[in-house]
Amino acid sequence: MTKQMSIKSECRMVPVRFQRAIVGAPDKRYPDIDERGFNHAVPAMNGLPASAAVRGSAVSIAHNHTVEIQLVREDIDDDAVIYVTSSDESVFTVDTPMGHAPCTPGKTCNITLSSAMLFNLTPAVANLEVRYQKKDGPVIACLLVYVMPLMSVNIQPHIVAVNSSSAPGDIPSLAFGAVTQMAADIWHNAGISLSFAQTKYISITANQANMLLYSELNRVVDTAWTPNYINVYIVTALSNGTLGYGFSASAYKGFGIRHPAVFLALKSNHSGHHLDRSADIHYCANDLAHEIGHFFTLWHPTDDPMSMGLATQGWQRRDSWSMRFLMYNFNTTWRDANATPHKGNNWPDFNNFGYGTSAQDPSVAYRGAAIPLKLVRAGKAGIDGQCAIARNHIAKGFTTLYG
C-alpha cells in the first residue's frame, strides 16, 4: 500500500493506534484510552514525578487487574506482522496474544494486559511497545501505561422521599446496585475504588412533593449526613431541570450548603422537555460518577473558545473529544455539523463514542467516561490531567476529602 504525505512543521505517521475494546456501557475490563493531543505530559501523581511529553496515547489501569484494549492498524497494512511487548514486566504483562505470538492479522487485534500488585499509593509506569515483524523488532508505536494502586473512597447513599406538607412524595426507584457497580467501574482504572455503604432511606418535607428546590438542599443534609463518607442523595427531581450536583469539601460553603454532598435526580420536566431516567442504569451511573468527580474537585471543561449563552462559563466544547470526557456536562458537541470540513458526514455527534446509544432515546449517543491522564491545556480550570488531580486530592486525607 502506498501512502501520500505532505510535510508541514512536523510529520507524524500513525501506523497503529489504540481504542476501547468494546462499544457499550462502562466496564472496568475495558478502559478508555487517553488519545487526545500529542506531546503533553501526565502531571505528577502521588509522589511520582510528571512524565515526559507523551508522544501518543496513554491508558491507566488499576493494579492487580486484567484489562482488554484494542489495537487498530491505521497507516499500516492489515496483514503487517506486529508484536506487542511490555517494556517492564514488573509493571504489567501482555497476556494475549499468548506466548509472545504476533497480533492476529486484520484491522484490529485485542490485547489483554495484567497489572502488578503495588504496595503504596505511587503509580508505576511502563510502555506497551508495538514491534514490527519480529518480537524484538523495531518499535513503531507505544502506549504509555500507568498502573494505579487502588485508593478506597467511602460513599453513603441516601434515597430521599421529598414530601410536601399535604402529600407524600415517591420513594425514588432505580436499580441502585447496578448503578453503583457501573459508577465504580468508571473510576476503577483511575485507581479509585468507590466503596458503597448500605443505602439509607430518609424523607424530608419541602414546598412541593417530589421536587427539591436549591434552597431546600440543606433540609436534606440536615436530616442525614454521615461523617467520613461522600454522602449521595437520590431524589426524584431537582429544580430547573438539574440532574445532579457535586459539592466538594473545598467548595460546599461557597454554594451555601451546610455539608459536602452529592445530589442525583431521576426525573426532570423543564422547558417542556420531560425526562425519566429511573430505568437508565448507564445514564445514572455516568452522572453519579460525574458528580463524584466534582467531589474530587474536578470541574467541567472551561475552555470553550466561543463563549455565548450557556457557554459564558466555557462549558460547551466543539471538538469530538468532548463527549468522551466524564467531566463534560452535555450530550452534544455543540458544533454545527455542517460547519465541519466533511459537512457533518460521520461527525461524531451522530456517531457513538464507544459507549453506545441511549436505550430510551436511540438518537442520543451516551457521552463517554474518560478520566484523562494527560494535561492538554494547562492553566485552565477544568481541563484534562484529571486522574492526577483526583488522586492527589484524595491522598490529602479524610478531612480534606470528606469535610
Which residues would be at the binding site for Zn ion (CB under 5 A)?
329
The CB-of-329 to Zn ion minimum distance in angstroms stands at 4
With respect to Zn ion, which residue has the nearer C-beta, 130 or 238? 238
Whether 31 and 67 have beta carbons less than 8 Å apart is answered as yes
The CB-of-61 to Zn ion minimum distance in angstroms stands at 25
The residue behind cell 493506534 is 17
The CB-of-186 to Zn ion minimum distance in angstroms stands at 14
- The C-alpha atoms of residue 83 and residue 102 are separated, in whole angstroms, by 5
With respect to Zn ion, which residue has the nearer C-beta, 224 or 311? 311
The CB-of-384 to Zn ion minimum distance in angstroms stands at 16
- Burial annotation 320-340 (CB, 10 A radius, 16+ → b, else e): bbbbbbbbbbbeebbbeeeeb
The CB-of-145 to Zn ion minimum distance in angstroms stands at 29
Secondary structure letter of residue 360 according to DSSP: S
- Burial annotation 150-184 (CB, 10 A radius, 16+ → b, else e): bbebbbbbbbbbbbeeeeebbebebebeebbbbbb
- The C-alpha atoms of residue 103 and residue 83 are separated, in whole angstroms, by 6
With respect to Zn ion, which residue has the nearer C-beta, 113 or 179? 179
* Sequence letter at residue 288: L
* Sequence letter at residue 294: H
Dihedral (CA of 145, 373, 31, 187) sign: positive
With respect to Zn ion, which residue has the nearer C-beta, 63 or 317? 317
The CB-of-331 to Zn ion minimum distance in angstroms stands at 13
Closest-approach residue to Zn ion (CB): 329
